[in-house]
Chains A and B, each alone.
Chain A
């Protein structure tokens, strides 16, 4: 999605410079530049467009190539079937349930990660306690262990705790984040000591300092992290695959995979395409909405 937005803004920026005449780019090279940008845009955007087109045709049309280049007339029908009708291959669960599950998982992972990492960074940067550096390095070392390395022990723990097929089981093991902790730590280190001391003189205890000063100052970081972590949570594959058995606890990515059959020819491609379109919509929405918000934050930030 970011790829989609970028060429457009770059083209706009180019156009602006052009009006100023600063760079003195000739008309010809401007057209060439635009042509290349538009070509790039088409290459990136076309598959997504084609997915959308496919989601508005009947299964028969899709199975009889070539697929038309324009949307068909079954938009309403396909989307209502997928969202509320239940899909046979995934146990009659409908896509709205999947969307709900995935939203819960992505939000829980993003928010959970942010809360945990901002608090641990707060502790590591602003408090002096025994073994502070030891804990910092422990967190740091986990960076070097990807989820896959610890996936079997984690699975065993989840089974023992009876957390299979629960939202807790889906999200909790993915919440601890060394990356986000480090990011917040680096940011907190740039906050001048005088500001901390001024707050102390002003009678702000640790929590008040955190709430009144640290959080507002971190909002751009939080927004940026939220976007990244939401998409991270949304696209999780391996862990949800392991930890969910029931079809109604699947995330949309897992369900999508289950909807496509390799052995049989009964894959309902029109519904698969609908699910695809629905699966990419929320992340796009988050990026578009949050981007505005954190660009505003970036512009406002003093440096």
Chain B
């Protein structure tokens, strides 16, 4: 059990490519920190620097209050779960789990006790004598977690552990990982590009983009108050609608035409170029155009059952390529060519500076 502290961590490859541009994160003891971002954003590099598999160019990584920059992966007292499981193919499940302990010269009886205990926790007790190739994907993933658990380390590091599993299993394992992490209370860092995993697992969510941490907060805060256009577009599905607009005396003049005056939103100064962000699920169908903030001309409909996604563009827009998506209750019947009067739910509009992309 330990805290994990990253202070201005930078990674420069071959003196040129800057993969991580100064990230500071503080993870309290027992918390689950999820690093999420598109591929190439530096999230895996960051994790590998915490693990000691990658050298730290600048800044410090501390685990349990001690700076571990110069220590090797084995000396940092961390355990890692890899994307492709990375099980030793020639070893039985038992030996896969016991290997790290044997290398540390642990007593045989203690190894046996720990392996059996972890196997029982993970439902692997019947598979200890099998080789990894005789197991299913989910079971292999469990073995990989077992290998981490038996070590009883200061921190768990997960590198996209579920991305090789099918959707159903992924959902199931996600919950298992969460429960396991909570019950063991081990500080964890989890890398994923899947926002559902990120939202459901995280205590602290770190949204990364181009080597920077764009926002570090609780998942709900990230969803409710995205710090930048990037975060707004990355978290939430379908992505948040972002409409270019200009501040005026009596509301936001959309570039697409028309003026919007969302309720409970502090408006930017007149003349300022902004982006108005509205999540698809935060628009409500209203009875007529006078009560509406926006009118959506529908070009495509996705009926999901519980929800209906109406794709289209703002009616006032001359440029039909500017997309607008609304998520409506499944009971609403919509067809192509409809014009939907929509109101933005109070307080649910987000305003970002057009130049910096930051939240206002």
Residues in A lying within 8 Å of B, measured CB to CB:
192, 194-195, 197-204, 208, 212-213, 216-217, 302
Residues in B lying within 8 Å of A, measured CB to CB:
51-53, 72-74, 78-80, 82-84, 86-90, 99-100, 103-104, 132-133, 147
In whole angstroms, what is the CA distance A194 to B47 when docked? 14
**Contact of B51 with A201 in the complex, beta carbons under 8 Å:** yes
Jot down 26 A-B pairs with beta carbons below 8 A, ordered by A. Answer: A192-B86, A194-B82, A194-B84, A194-B86, A195-B86, A195-B88, A197-B53, A197-B80, A197-B82, A198-B80, A198-B82, A198-B88, A198-B147, A199-B88, A200-B52, A201-B78, A201-B80, A203-B74, A203-B100, A203-B104, A208-B103, A213-B88, A217-B90, A302-B89, A302-B132, A302-B133
**Contact of A202 with B74 in the complex, beta carbons under 8 Å:** yes
Further 18 A-B residue pairs, CB within 8 A, beyond A198-B80, A217-B89: A195-B88, A197-B80, A197-B86, A198-B88, A198-B147, A200-B52, A200-B53, A200-B73, A200-B74, A201-B73, A201-B74, A202-B99, A203-B104, A204-B74, A212-B88, A212-B99, A216-B90, A302-B133
In whole angstroms, what is the CA distance A88 to B89 when docked? 56
Return A18 CB to nearest CB of chain B, in Å.
32
In whole angstroms, what is the CA distance A212 to B103 when docked? 11
Return A197 CB to nearest CB of chain B, in Å.
5
Chain B residues near A192 (CB-CB < 8 A): 84, 86
In whole angstroms, what is the CA distance A208 to B73 when docked? 15
In whole angstroms, what is the CA distance A267 to B90 when docked? 55
Chain A residues near B99 (CB-CB < 8 A): 202, 204, 212
Chain B residues near A197 (CB-CB < 8 A): 51, 53, 73, 80, 82, 86
In whole angstroms, what is the CA distance A78 to B100 when docked? 60
Return A210 CB to nearest CB of chain B, in Å.
13
Minimum-distance CB pairs A-B, first 7: A203-B74, A202-B100, A194-B86, A198-B86, A203-B103, A302-B133, A216-B90
Chain A residues near B73 (CB-CB < 8 A): 197, 200-201
In whole angstroms, what is the CA distance A230 to B51 when docked? 44
Chain B residues near A201 (CB-CB < 8 A): 51, 53, 73-74, 78-80, 100
Chain A residues near B52 (CB-CB < 8 A): 200
Chain A residues near B84 (CB-CB < 8 A): 192, 194
* Nearest B-chain residue to A215, judged by Cβ: B90
* Nearest B-chain residue to A192, judged by Cβ: B84
Return B121 CB to nearest CB of chain A, in Å.
19
